[in-house]
Amino acid sequence: YGTTFYEWIQIGCFLMMGMAGGVMMLGAKYEETEKQQRSKRTTGLVFIVVALGVIMSELVQMFMK
Q: What is the pLDDT of residue 52?
A: 96
For the question of whether the overall pTM of this predicted structure is more than 0.95, the answer is no
Q: What is the pLDDT of residue 55?
A: 94
Low-confidence stretches of the chain (pLDDT beneath 50) = none
Buried b (16+ CB within 10 A) or exposed e, 25-62: beebeeeeeeeebeebbeebeebbeebeebbeeeeeee
Rounded to 5 degrees, what are φ and ψ at 23?
-65, -40
Q: If 0-12 CB within 10 Å is exposed, 13-18 middle and 19+ buried, where does residue 1 land?
A: exposed
